[in-house]
Amino acid sequence: MAGDNEHTVPLHTDELLRVLERTLEIENELLRTYVIASERIQDNEELRVRLQNFAEGNAKRTRQLIDEINHIKGQL
């Protein structure tokens, strides 16, 4: 259960970096997918805009992940 720290195993820095780097890959793939899909939609402007908004959200998370990864690596 989330928040139940009694049985939580600590996440070491190298493991955290792997998690964040994998998440970054996923966010980048989603970003590309949303952009490509939005560019191909011709008959549904509302959906096209929503997909562009999804892509913008992924771009923001991508930047945040890169910053966090760089911050952690800078502390090593």
Condensed to tens digits (0 to 9), the pLDDT of residues 15-37 reads 999 999 999 999 999 999 999 99
Structural domain includes residue 4: no
Structural domain includes residue 1: no
Domain of 46 in residue numbering reads as: 11-74
Structural domain includes residue 67: yes
| pLDDT of 6 strictly over 70 | no
What integer pLDDT is reported at residue 5 of this predicted model?
Answer: 61
Query: Rounded to an integer, what distance in angstroms lies between the CA atom of residue 61 and that of residue 55?
Result: 10
The half-sphere exposure of 52 on its side-chain side, counting CA atoms within 13 A, is 10
- Total domains in the fold of the chain: 1
What integer pLDDT is reported at residue 76 of this predicted model?
Answer: 83
What integer pLDDT is reported at residue 26 of this predicted model?
Answer: 97
Of the pLDDT bands very low, low, confident and very high (cuts 50, 70, 90), residue 2 is low
Angle at 61 (CA atoms; ends 60, 66), nearest 5 degrees? 100
| pLDDT of 50 strictly over 80 | yes
Query: Rounded to an integer, what distance in angstroms lies between the CA atom of residue 67 and that of residue 47?
Result: 30
- For 51-74, give the secondary structure using H, E and C: HHHHHHHHHHHHHHHHHHHHHHHH
